[in-house]
A and B are shown apart, each in its own frame.
Chain A
Amino acid sequence: MSASYLTDGLTIRSWLATTDHKRIAILYAIAITGFFFVGGAAATIIRLELATPAGDLVGHDTYNKLFTAHGVIMVWLFLIPSIPSVLGNFLLPLMIGASDLAFPRINLLSWYLYVAGGLVTLAALFLGGVDTGWTFYTPYSTMFSNTWVTLVLVGVFITGFSSIATGVNFIVTLHALRAPGLTWFKLPLFAWAIYATSLILVLATPVLAITTLLVVAERLFQVGIFDPAFGGDPLLFQHLFWFYSHPAVYVMVLPAMGVVSEVLPCFARRPVFGYRAMAWAILGIASVGFLVWGHHMFVSGQSPAASLAFSLLSFIVAIPSAIKVFNWTATLYKGAIRFDAPMLYALGFVGLFTIGGLTGLFLASLTLDVHLTDTYFVVAHFHYIMVGGAVMAYFAGLHFWWPKATGRMYHELWSRIAAVLVFVGFNLTFFPQFLLGAQGMPRRYHTYPPEFQVLNLFSSAGAGVLAIGYLMPLAYFAWSLLRGAKAGDNPFAATGIEWQTRSPPPTHNFEIPPFVPPRPYDYDAQESGPASGLEVKP
């Protein structure tokens, strides 16, 4: 028996120069956790400030820099890389029976680019910060903002290369390295989701890269491609920016859907309902998601004809999204459901994603959007998708594959308490914001009229509960590393190929070639008795 990937080399160098996808995933997890808590600290100060109507904790300049820092860090340094680069990196080769990604050294390069870009961004934020908001709207960002815009954009530009390299790597891996017999429609839905996500990363990220370069060029040359004072067009910036940034939402939520599609069948002991429809829905969301960016610009002076088309297309994305929600629900039907921590997070995802998705339809409606644009309704909506959706699923995945990655179990009771706290804290934080937005409270102000205080207090209190829910895993995961029970190869009796190898897996993943089940999620066959194919170790 060869050493596990964790014990195969114990020096710092053996980690920082590794090309093992599993170790790189751990490197990502550590870096991403750091950025998550920096971004979370900014959010904490924002919510403390908003506990009272007056601006008594921070001034307006600081407040602007805080919400910009929160947005930039959470979007580019946490949400975009979280599930693909941590869970995707760790699991993709294991799920398809490969020994590594197609380009292991490029994979390591991706991590270094990500960390370099992240540190440049963080340096800019600590040197004095940026006050444009994470959207960098022109001409404010090009002509007026006297803050560290250029440096942050350089940081974002560098992390973009990391995204593209990771995307290319995943695409080629799925095409070239699937185990013999593992055809596309036998792939787990997580692999499908990572595939679609990679397509978006490869095709959308370069547009953000060129947009940031043009903004930097505009600041350096003092010309106005985006600046109306020179005859330029700020709408052009918004088109280019949202051409990336809307698909980027699907970079956050498609992998989350992938995680949930692994967890729900396992803890309901049922095959995924409508597997093929689920796979096609992933591709549908990814493709139509490229055509809806204009719904961010309904009140920006975009032509009404364009708005009409973007509104219709935005409603169309709801169809594959609804297919997924209905199929998850149908998967649960008559299942033997167990409420383990990953399942609690995954169920939380389904509920919160549904609310986030349906409120997205409010915003995709042309007339309603006029009232709701730039209010807290928008803030609540996208936090339901990104935090209620993507972060919940990230935690579901962390718990679900923790035993595989570490060889030890997490503490079941503590993790269930954390999952419930996150769910309650999240709703307490963000549901009041729907009401605030509907009542007309604008986003991005550090003061507000006193009549909004009650709901804001609920929101700030919820943020406290949420913070505890997010800090708890740090403690019980650390405990699990030292004291957790030995997990065994497949503690949840799951059907995925990744569970056939040891926990933690050996460096080259499989010591004997894995068995490819005749169909994915074959939980029915498993229940017929332990003698089924899945239990046979080849």
Chain B
Amino acid sequence: MTRDAHALPGVEPDAGKLGMWAFLASEVLFFGGLFVAYLYGRTHWPQGWSGASRHTDVVLGTVNTAVLLTSSALVALGAAAPARRLSARLLWSTAALGVLFLAIKGVEWHAEWRDGLVPGVDFALADTPGAEEFFALYFVMTGLHGVHMLLGIALLAVLATGARRDRPWAQARQVEVAALYWHFVDVVWIFLYPLLYLVSRHG
């Protein structure tokens, strides 16, 4: 009863973090819809989907997984870094790895475009039922993941600039909230990678 309602017009200490968790819960359901569609496709066209998934580039996909996991480690260090300048450098490194991930993804997309794996006219695997649906979902899933990466890179770049100048809105607390988002985007990829590249590649 003694708290002055004006003293903290903005945000209580944990509000940003809690807000991010609530938003990430929403994101889980967003990608969840895609995973349900994937589940339907795999059970409905088992042959078509295992055949189509062999046309993804497993080497580049694996390299990208390593890139993203490293970036997540860097952002965690950036959130924990005691000095603002060190934090800024780690955030820039994270963002750079994010850009590298998107560049590799771009190379993959380009190769798939060249090989006629983009759904539409002249689809290369047109005689395999379900292959086109696999690649439609592949592009939607990796595309939406890429959009999330872009937003994350922008967020990290802004925070890195602010952290370097020790701005009040770029302290450890804010970096931690951004890192949560970055980890989430990483975790989404941890699910996409096996589903799109690995499953039924054996034999």
User: Footprint of B on A, CB under 8 Å?
Assistant: 97-100, 102-104, 164, 167-169, 171-172, 175-177, 179-181, 202-207, 209-211, 213-214, 217-218, 221-225, 230-233, 236, 239-240, 243, 508-510, 513-516, 538
CA distance A213 to B133 in the complex (A): 15
Shortest beta-carbon distance from B17 to chain A in Å: 9
Question: What are the interface flags for B65-89 relative to A under an 8 Å C-beta threshold, 1 for contact and 0 otherwise?
Answer: 0000000000000000000000000
4 new A-B contacts, CB < 8 A, other than A213-B144, A513-B1, are A98-B5, A179-B5, A210-B34, A513-B2
Q: Identify the closest chain B residue to A179 (Cβ).
A: B3
User: Footprint of A on B, CB under 8 Å?
Assistant: 1-6, 9-12, 14-15, 18-19, 22-23, 25-34, 36-37, 40-41, 44-45, 119-120, 129-130, 132-133, 136-137, 140, 144
The answer to whether B136 touches A206, judged by C-beta atoms less than 8 angstroms apart, is: no
Q: Which 9 pairs, one residue from A and one from B, show the smallest C-beta to C-beta distance?
A: A210-B33, A206-B30, A176-B12, A206-B29, A223-B136, A176-B15, A221-B119, A168-B22, A172-B19
CA distance A405 to B45 in the complex (A): 58
Query: Count the A-B residue pairs with Cβ separation under 8 angstroms: how many?
Result: 131
CA distance A168 to B3 in the complex (A): 24
Partner of B29, one of A100, A171, A203: A203
The answer to whether A223 touches B22, judged by C-beta atoms less than 8 angstroms apart, is: no
Q: A103-B15, A172-B19 are in contact. Are A204 and B29 (CB under 8 A)?
A: yes
Partner of B23, one of A168, A213, A217, A538: A168
Q: A168-B19, A206-B27, A210-B33 are in contact. Are A224 and B5 (CB under 8 A)?
A: no
Q: A225-B137, A231-B44, A240-B36 are in contact. Are A176 and B1 (CB under 8 A)?
A: no
The answer to whether A223 touches B40, judged by C-beta atoms less than 8 angstroms apart, is: no
Residues in B neighbouring A206, C-beta threshold 8 A? 26-30, 32-33
Residues in A neighbouring B2, C-beta threshold 8 A? 180, 513
Residues in A neighbouring B33, C-beta threshold 8 A? 206-207, 209-211, 214, 240, 243
A/B interface sample: 10 pairs, CB < 8 A = A97-B5, A100-B9, A103-B11, A202-B26, A207-B33, A210-B32, A217-B136, A233-B40, A233-B44, A516-B1
CA distance A136 to B46 in the complex (A): 28
The answer to whether B119 touches A102, judged by C-beta atoms less than 8 angstroms apart, is: no
Interface of B is mostly: helix
The answer to whether A202 touches B140, judged by C-beta atoms less than 8 angstroms apart, is: no
CA distance A510 to B40 in the complex (A): 54
Residues in A neighbouring B41, C-beta threshold 8 A? 225
Q: Identify the closest chain A residue to B39 (Cβ).
A: A236
The answer to whether B120 touches A508, judged by C-beta atoms less than 8 angstroms apart, is: no
The answer to whether B9 touches A99, judged by C-beta atoms less than 8 angstroms apart, is: yes
Residues in B neighbouring A222, C-beta threshold 8 A? 119-120
CA distance A224 to B45 in the complex (A): 12
Shortest beta-carbon distance from A213 to chain B in Å: 7
CA distance A207 to B31 in the complex (A): 8
Residues in A neighbouring B136, C-beta threshold 8 A? 217-218, 221, 223, 225
Residues in B neighbouring A204, C-beta threshold 8 A? 29
Residues in A neighbouring B36, C-beta threshold 8 A? 236, 239-240
Q: A176-B11, A176-B14 are in contact. Are A164 and B23 (CB under 8 A)?
A: yes
CA distance A162 to B140 in the complex (A): 22
CA distance A197 to B40 in the complex (A): 30
Residues in A neighbouring B29, C-beta threshold 8 A? 203-204, 206-207
Residues in B neighbouring A203, C-beta threshold 8 A? 25-26, 29
Shortest beta-carbon distance from A297 to chain B in Å: 15
Partner of A179, one of B1, B9, B12: B1
CA distance A167 to B40 in the complex (A): 30
CA distance A513 to B2 in the complex (A): 7
Residues in B neighbouring A513, C-beta threshold 8 A? 1-5
Q: A97-B5, A206-B29, A225-B137 are in contact. Are A103 and B130 (CB under 8 A)?
A: no
Of A179, A202, A224, A516, the most chain B CB neighbours within 10 A belong to: A202
Of A172, A224, A232, the most chain B CB neighbours within 10 A belong to: A172
The answer to whether B22 touches A171, judged by C-beta atoms less than 8 angstroms apart, is: yes
Shortest beta-carbon distance from A226 to chain B in Å: 9
Partner of A176, one of B4, B18, B132: B18
The answer to whether A231 touches B4, judged by C-beta atoms less than 8 angstroms apart, is: no
Shortest beta-carbon distance from B23 to chain A in Å: 5
Partner of B5, one of A99, A172, A231, A515: A99
Q: A164-B23, A167-B22, A171-B22 are in contact. Are A223 and B133 (CB under 8 A)?
A: yes
Shortest beta-carbon distance from B191 to chain A in Å: 15
The answer to whether B34 touches A202, judged by C-beta atoms less than 8 angstroms apart, is: no
